[in-house]
Structure 1
Amino acid sequence: MIAGVIAVVLLLAVAAYACAGGTDYGAGFWDLTAGGAERGKRPRWLIDHAMAPVWEVNNVWLIFVLVIMWTGFPLFFQQVFTAMWLPLALAGVGIVLRGAGFALRKAARRLAGRRLYGAVFAVSSLLTPFFFGAAAGGVASGRVTEATRASTDAWANPTSVLFGLLAVATSALLGAVFLAADARRFDAPDLTDYFRRRAVGALAAVAVLAVITLVVTHGDAPHVWHGLTHGVGLVFVVLAALGTPATAWLLFRSSGAWSRVTAVGVVGSAVIAWEMAQRPYLVPTSLTVAEGAGAETTLRWLGLVTLVAVVLILPAVVLLYRLDTRGELEPLTDADLRRPAGGER
């Protein structure tokens, strides 16, 4: 019973990281595709201002996922990180490089330095979600077993590649939707249209990739395919499908604020659908939740610590997101920093 509860917590943490971290990665994706220095100047300006207040806190969800994995499901953690050490290591390096690139490109004095750090940030924002998705696809396809050792086949297979592409596409979707809403907040109609068009394009890419993935999993990951087309997994697939046209419609409404909610619903529903499709396995069809769980005493303490974290940390994170989406966490500008104390001129 307690193992099942902790597994649900892990599921929700993965979904939260896919949505929060995915929005960050998506902003980096659009930074990469914005064009040259002049053409991409305004989109990159918006990306910098939108990400500045929250880009660090989004990785809290990843830390939460890792702690639950190695504490609550140590055998699962061992199998995944043994078989998938290369893509996960590359994703970890990507997180470090994109953070450094984002922070240093604004501090660099020379144009060449800003371009270098900007390229590191943008390319890492593309590769990191791909490698995370590829590792998840290897798990979904059942290639991560006790006997599996690190190999290309574990993560460079049809299901893994499609999961990786879906991770990139959903990140691009979330990034474009949130940036379109931020452009409205900054009263920049040209950027609103710019990111709105890209959000619709990303929605179409997500829909196409989702259909292709469903077809491929029929032969490459049959247990997951069955879970996605039956029961609870199917319910969340339908929710994601319904959220797709709803997001497109809301993007073109006057305010468009609710498009962020439906976009998060699309991505969150898709992640939960995959996780529900694996039941009762952590790794289809070789490791169940019960078999991969740690000692019951450990699980009970983990549940208690998780409850404390939810009570103390979750409200603060939610408040941060709320303040950010309402535009109350704008970074200081050069003019603000040069202004005399007390607002004197």
Structure 2
Amino acid sequence: MDLPVIWFVAIAILWTGYFVLEGFDFGVGVLLPVVGRDNVDRRVVINSIGPVWDGNEVWLITAVGAMFAAFPAWYASMLSGLYLPMLLILLALIVRGVAFEYRGKVDSDRWRAAWDKAIVVGSLLPAVLWGVVFGNVVRGLQVDADQIVVGGLSDLVNPYSLLGGLTTLALFTLHGAVFLTLKTDGPVRRRARTAALRTAVATVPLLVLFVAWTQVAHGGGWTAPLAALAAGALVVGVLLAARGREGWSFTATATSIAAATALLFGALFPDVLPSTIDPAHSLTVWNAASAPYTLTVVSWVTLVALPVVIGYQAWSYWVFRRRVTREHIEPAPAYGGQGGAHASVRLPAARSEPPVPPIAG
């Protein structure tokens, strides 16, 4: 078996899972002030992803960890060459996580409003920057003969990567809006459906242009079906959302994200980090891979641990499959509050509030 190729495919699958699952988290965060008109609605929005958002981030940790174990040269060159956007992504994820935890700690509208803004910024920045990062990875960086990225920040700002950033922002926002129509009810659901249809006006042409550019400039014959699937699934998802077929619409937008991610990795292969200085300096799945013994050991560990992680996450999604509505939000004081019409959730949703057993029905 060609273990480097197998691990390249495995890492592509991990990144695909991350973008599909964390993508709707980012979209929900971006849409928080749009679909949440008051504190109760915003609590509904936050609680829709409350039980799963931190579990979704495990896919990122696993993907980066797999890169470190299987392709240390790729890990080192990519993270050093894209240091600033990766640092901004990390800081944004930290701020967003803190915002979820601290939003309900003080019984104050100003306090909650400040953390709501942090949720929006902490969702918007990664949604844009992941597109910029992978746009530059597929396009290539200035990798020299020593496998060191020598380019500066200005090299990361180019039309292709900027289009990638706009595309991921729009696509994740649409994915999040469709998720809210599937996971909530009442006014939040209606506003989310409107947001999905309005976002689609920009998302569809952006994705079509991005996948077409990727296919023409970097793809091959076997990646063309992936480009077509990414664009076609998105169009179908929008049509299904307009007809109120929320479950199938979410499946279609998830398929579009998965196909677009597969297209990026397919266009990248057999390189893992192309060099714009000289193709001979490019990192490939073979010259960037760990030793065969290391790949063998990591493979056995993964075969044991990965099914457990996937099984646990699937179970958590099943447990928290019910819709979240305003009726699940009851008036109660926040931490240290003295009463008043402030929302405290009855479902074990957002970790920013003390969990209570779920309501049946």
Same amino acid, percent of matched pairs: 26
- CA distance in 1 between counterparts of 2:131 and 2:346 reads 41
Give the C-alpha shift of residue 245 in structure 1.
Answer: 2.3
Q: Does 1:104 align with 2:102?
A: yes
TM-align CA RMSD? 2.7
Q: How does 1:1-345 map to 2 (within 5 A)?
A: 1-34=2-35, 39-41=37-39, 43-145=41-143, 146-149=147-150, 151-183=152-184, 186=185, 188=186, 190-214=187-211, 225-228=216-219, 230-284=220-274, 285=279, 286-327=282-323, 334=344
Is contact 1:82–1:149 with CA below 8 Å preserved after alignment?
no
- CA distance in 2 between counterparts of 1:325 and 1:264 reads 17
* Structure with greater helix share of residues: 1
> 2:335 is matched with which residue?
none
- CA distance in 2 between counterparts of 1:335 and 1:102 reads 13
- CA distance in 2 between counterparts of 1:122 and 1:321 reads 23
- CA distance in 1 between counterparts of 2:224 and 2:272 reads 18
Give the C-alpha shift of residue 259 in structure 1.
Answer: 1.3
- CA distance in 2 between counterparts of 1:68 and 1:275 reads 15
Give the C-alpha shift of residue 102 in structure 1.
Answer: 1.9
Give the C-alpha shift of residue 162 in structure 1.
Answer: 1.4
Residues 7 and 43 of structure 1: is their aligned pair in 2 closer, same or farther, counting only changes over 3 Å?
Answer: same
TM-score after normalising by structure 1: 0.86
What code does the residue aligned with 2:51 have? Answer: P
Is contact 1:130–1:165 with CA below 8 Å preserved after alignment?
yes
TM-score after normalising by structure 2: 0.83
Residues 335 and 215 of structure 1: is their aligned pair in 2 closer, same or farther, counting only changes over 3 Å?
Answer: closer
Residues 208 and 162 of structure 1: is their aligned pair in 2 closer, same or farther, counting only changes over 3 Å?
Answer: same
Equivalent residues, number: 326
Unaligned runs of 5+ in 1: 218-223
What code does the residue aligned with 2:290 have? Answer: G
Is contact 1:144–1:283 with CA below 8 Å preserved after alignment?
no
- CA distance in 2 between counterparts of 1:54 and 1:325 reads 11
> 1:220 is matched with which residue?
none
- CA distance in 2 between counterparts of 1:247 and 1:310 reads 30
Residues 57 and 177 of structure 1: is their aligned pair in 2 closer, same or farther, counting only changes over 3 Å?
Answer: same
- Deviations for 1:49-100, whole angstroms, at most 9, x for unmatched residues? 2011111111000000111111100000111111111110110000000111
What code does the residue aligned with 2:284 have? Answer: T
Q: Secondary structure at the match of 1:106?
A: coil
- CA distance in 1 between counterparts of 2:26 and 2:160 reads 21
Is contact 1:79–1:144 with CA below 8 Å preserved after alignment?
no
- CA distance in 2 between counterparts of 1:295 and 1:147 reads 20
- CA distance in 1 between counterparts of 2:10 and 2:252 reads 22
Is contact 1:84–1:154 with CA below 8 Å preserved after alignment?
no
Unaligned runs of 5+ in 2: 331-343, 348-353
Residues 161 and 226 of structure 1: is their aligned pair in 2 closer, same or farther, counting only changes over 3 Å?
Answer: closer
